[in-house]
Structure 1
């Protein structure tokens, strides 16, 4: 079974700023679950001039109880991200996918960032089109064998119902995650406007999130509740 989730969103910033913020988005006050980010490869295509980047994110998270009972305990997971920056046509394409327990729930998120045709009182807007593909292959012979080796209690279960449950949880968590991701991007964008790229990099390395709390008025209480941890 495969499920898709689609979403469209716009940032009130020009495409170059949004593209830069995308690659500087970790850490931010809304991404305390991201432990580390490493660049695995970067290549400039000599023909197209496009920049290809591959990064690996290590994230910390707890599975919902409705799903955790079917799986081994997962406290950390790796996310592989591949991005293509087309500066000439102002287009950023990204794809992220989970590497842990992909056979149980595969989540592939694709995004396209392009300048918006709609103008604002500022310099411009950037549109983001998001498509997320969820697929649970729980019930296949190999997956069941692997899970039984880890947790030997798969005695009573209906494959279809478990797949649907896992996929629905995945969709719900993705919606919540996209919301937090946008807020984190907004914080980084605002700081880029105020401090520039060098200032943002310095602030992130120092872990000065207390000063970043003032970036968005009216959200101080929410951000006060977020624990800030560094790797």
Structure 2
């Protein structure tokens, strides 16, 4: 197993980040063009806690490195199952996802957390991301290591692009919804 982890701070409030999170795969995010569809499977608010729990299926058009495809086969479309929890009281968004495609060869379990920054909780949001990547090629340690290393490298590249794309979504959301608020207040 290999672990990828990353963190950063967005210069936006938790309210802005947690709202824009639902739009991060929108058509004007040019860093997420590989996302073909996002289907909401279920969504409910827990009455006692106010926590919003959402299950989604994310369909991606994502190619694997050729040498992995030649070893294990594969198709252009891949599927990811995601469960998210939005806790408005503690101001915490937790998203947990796992791959459904190639899960018999590679298991990727990702957790993302957004919380207000302790330094400036009203204007900044901390982002933490961790992925546990496990190749399931028992008996082939060298291949297993190569698959995990290549997967962590690709995950790292995609995570960087994802943060850049989300930053663009945040900027656009602030512009659009800031203008909307100004119109409402006139």
Structure-1-length-normalised TM-score: 0.73
Superposition RMSD in Å: 1.8
**Does residue 1:134 correspond to 2:115, yes or no?**
no
Aligned length in residues: 178
Distance 2:36 2:67 in 1: 25
Any gaps of 5 or more consecutive residues in structure 2? 181-186
**Structure 1 residue 69, shift from structure 2 partner:** 1.6
Distance 2:132 2:33 in 1: 25
Distance 2:20 2:157 in 1: 20
Q: Provide the secondary structure at the position in 2 that maps to 1:70.
A: helix
1:39/1:53 contact within 8 Å kept: yes
Distance 2:178 2:146 in 1: 42
Residue of structure 1 in register with 2:183 after alignment? none
| Segments ≥4 residues shifted beyond 2 Å | none
Counterpart mapping for 1:44-63 below 5 A? 44-63=45-64
Residue of structure 1 in register with 2:12 after alignment? 13
Q: Which of residues 166, 169, 175 is equivalent to 1:188?
A: 169
**Structure 1 residue 197, shift from structure 2 partner:** 8.9
**Structure 1 residue 132, shift from structure 2 partner:** 0.5
Q: Provide the secondary structure at the position in 1 that maps to 2:71.
A: coil
1:118/1:124 contact within 8 Å kept: no
1:3/1:134 contact within 8 Å kept: yes
**Structure 1 residue 73, shift from structure 2 partner:** 2.8
Distance 2:155 2:148 in 1: 10
**Structure 1 residue 127, shift from structure 2 partner:** 0.4
Any gaps of 5 or more consecutive residues in structure 1? 140-157, 200-231
**Cα deviation code 1:146-193 (max 9, x no counterpart):** xxxxxxxxxxxx700111111011100110111111111111111111
Q: Provide the secondary structure at the position in 1 that maps to 2:60.
A: strand
